Structure 1
Amino acid sequence: MNLRVRVVHCGDQRWYADIDDADDPQPDDPFWYVDHCRSQPQALESACAELRLLAGRMVRGDEINRVLEVTGVPV
């Protein structure tokens, strides 16, 4: 699996970040996301920390799920 971090500026005062499969043509169901970050560095740091956790789970052979699979709520 080829995961990627995406950071997006949403409006004047918030940043959004998610982690998704780079080969997924639709970015509507990520493996993880965070919204309402106050800065781009904060969003990027949060996403990178989560990416390290996801990578560790994948190395152990754990299944990782998309947000929609876990919550049932679309992002």
Structure 2
Amino acid sequence: MNLRVKVIHYGQAHWYADIDDADDPQPDDPFWYLDHCRTQAQALEAACSELTALSTQARRGDHLYRVLEISGVAV
């Protein structure tokens, strides 16, 4: 699995971050996301922390659940 972090700036309003499989054809269903970060650094720090946790789970062989699998709502 090739996980990647994406951070996007929405104008002057906020930053968004998500973690997804680089080969995923459905970018609206990441493994994790965070919206309304005040700074890019805050978004990156949160995403990197979660990426570490997801990587640990993947190495153990745990199933990684996508947001849609958990909440039933696409991002």
TM-score past 0.5 threshold = yes
1:24 deviates by: 1.3
Q: Which runs of 5+ in 2 are unaligned?
A: none
1:2 aligns with 2:24: no
Moved over 6 A (4+): none
SS in structure 2 opposite 1:51?
Answer: helix
Aligned to 1:14: 14
Q: Which runs of 5+ in 1 are unaligned?
A: none
Between the aligned partners of 2:64 and 2:36, the Cα distance in structure 1 is 24
1:60 deviates by: 1.0
1:38 deviates by: 0.3
Number of residue pairs matched? 75
Give the superposed CA RMSD. Answer: 0.8
Q: With structure 2 as the length reference, what TM-score do the two structures score?
A: 0.95
Q: With structure 1 as the length reference, what TM-score do the two structures score?
A: 0.95
